[in-house]
Amino acid sequence: MPSKLFLLDTGSLVNFISPAAAREVTKVHGDSDVTVEGISGRVEKVYTANKAVLQFGHLRQENQDITAFDTTPISDDIGTEVSGFLGFVMLRMLEIKIDYRDALVDFQYDAKRWNR
């Protein structure tokens, strides 16, 4: 599977994925019980992806029933495909170094810190 680009969303508790990216690895179905709302407003069509494994900085995090929504408007706005968002449940486990000069983000995961 090719790599995907995810935005770091420090204001979100959970991870999100686009339905297109989720369909590459799992089944996706509509979910009218979940509401997603952010700075730009409420998301109209929300989906649930049965299972997606996100891997960053030697960390593999299994996400059961990860929430999905169409990220096309965001991708169009910034000029590159955004496949999802990494929220606090993922970011809290990583040491993150941001290199502003070279526009790079480095993720480090220490399994000993999390007893894994």
**Structure-block tokens of residue 44:** 């109209």
Is 68:48 a contact under the CB 8 Å cutoff?
yes
Is 19:70 a contact under the CB 8 Å cutoff?
yes
Q: Which residue has the higher pLDDT, 43 or 116?
A: 43
CATH fold of the domain at 6-108: Cathepsin D, subunit A; domain 1 (2.40.70)
Partners of 59 in the beta sheet?
56
Q: Which residue has the higher pLDDT, 5 or 114?
A: 5
- For residue 34, pLDDT over 90 is answered with no
% of the chain surpassing 70 pLDDT: 97
Torsions phi, psi for 43 (to 5 deg): -85, 130
Query: CA-to-CA distance for 31 and 37, rounded, in angstroms?
Result: 14
